[in-house]
Amino acid sequence: MSVIHTPHGDLRLPAFLPDATRGVVRALDARDLEACGVPGLVVNAFHLAHHPGAGAVAALGGIHTLMDWHRPVLADSGGFQVFSLIRQNPKLGSITNKHAVFRAAQGRKTQHLSPEKSIQVQLRLGADILVCLDDCTHPDAPAADQRESVDRTIAWARRCRDEFDRLLAERGMGAEPRPRLFAVVQGGSDADLRRRCAGELAALDFDGYGFGGWPFDSQRRLLTDILAFTADLMPREKPKYALGVGSPAALVACARMGYALFDCALPTRDARHGRLHALRSARRDDLACTHVYIRDDAHRRDPGPIADTCDCLTCRTYSRGYLHHLFAIRDPLAARLATLHNLRCYAMLLDRLGGRACS
């Protein structure tokens, strides 16, 4: 599939969606993102449900109106928070077959996140692409934990499917283009568990399928074997989503496996820390990227742009020397200009991966 039709326009694939976790890509506004060629954004249902609240977002017109963003939005289910806040530290909550329970700080209410609530929140936010709540694990987790994760992920996906279909029918949202629902394949590094999870999810006929679980080993190396194996298990005619994969080299590797949708905080986080990405050459068949560490003293008097291959506002207007100066004095403009550049670099890379003219 080369495009996903959504209520807020077509999402051409392959596509990289920057993380707007709390309803903002830090340092940029919607016009900046459009100028970079960003095709869509990812927001987080768990965090937005906590603040400002799904009801508040809905009262303000939904996530698109809130952000003044008129392209597709994908909502993360909160499944990664189940992993990062509970599986990584059981003192912060518990996971049952019914739901995940997040123990709140003193004076705050305990939060419950069920498959049904996750879908309700995502639809209330106004997301174009929703993701089923899953039980994420680390690839090194014990076999018993992996089996439990797969059992729960399948059961939760069924409940998400039922709630999604019920709410779409109730709200009269079944006509095209309608919101889309993706499921997430878990199983760690166990091929049999991955096969079982993918098979049972495929039988539920979701609009797309994602690779679930931490995609790197303890040395931060991409788990290419299990990523490729899982991609082959997903329905051929449905888009494949590599959740949390974000380095340029990893994007290229996963695109060759068949994945066509990506999200990660890496390019925006790197930008704020002065690590800038750049396409190696102007050749459209060259998918390699280099890095510029703009804080290095070597750039203090450099009059050139970050990259000759880039057409972003930063590269058209400002020198490496100026950006080095902005980081040195810790001016907020440094984060904006660096983030503009990194996201434009990613948009150009994905255009090359898709074999299309840069937008």
DSSP H stretches of helix in the chain: 30-36, 45-50, 54-59, 63-67, 79-81, 115-125, 143-170, 191-202, 224-233, 248-257, 266-272, 313-317, 320-328, 332-354
Structural domains of the chain ordered from first start = 3-264 (3.20.20.105), 272-354 (no CATH)
Mean pLDDT across the chain: 95
Cα–Cα separations (whole angstroms), residue 244 to 251, 257, 348, 356: 10, 16, 19, 24
Confidence (pTM): 0.96
Closest CA to 262 of 13, 2, 5: 13
Phi, psi of 45 (to 5 degrees): -65, -40
| Active site residue ranges | 76, 263
Contact 206, 183 (CB under 8 A): yes
357/284 Cα distance (integer angstroms): 9
Q: What is the pLDDT of residues 179-198, one digit of tens each?
A: 999 999 999 999 999 999 99
Q: What is the pLDDT of residues 51-61, one digit of tens each?
A: 999 999 999 99
Contact 221, 195 (CB under 8 A): no
Which of helix, strand or coil describes residue 34? helix
Q: What is the pLDDT of residues 82-126, one digit of tens each?
A: 878 887 788 889 999 999 888 865 556 788 899 999 999 999 999
Strand arrangement, sheet containing 129-131: 15-18, 261-264, 240-243, 208-211, 180-185, 129-131, 73-76, 41-44
Pairing of strands 289-293, 275-279: antiparallel
User: What percentage of the chain reaches a pLDDT higher than 90?
Assistant: 85
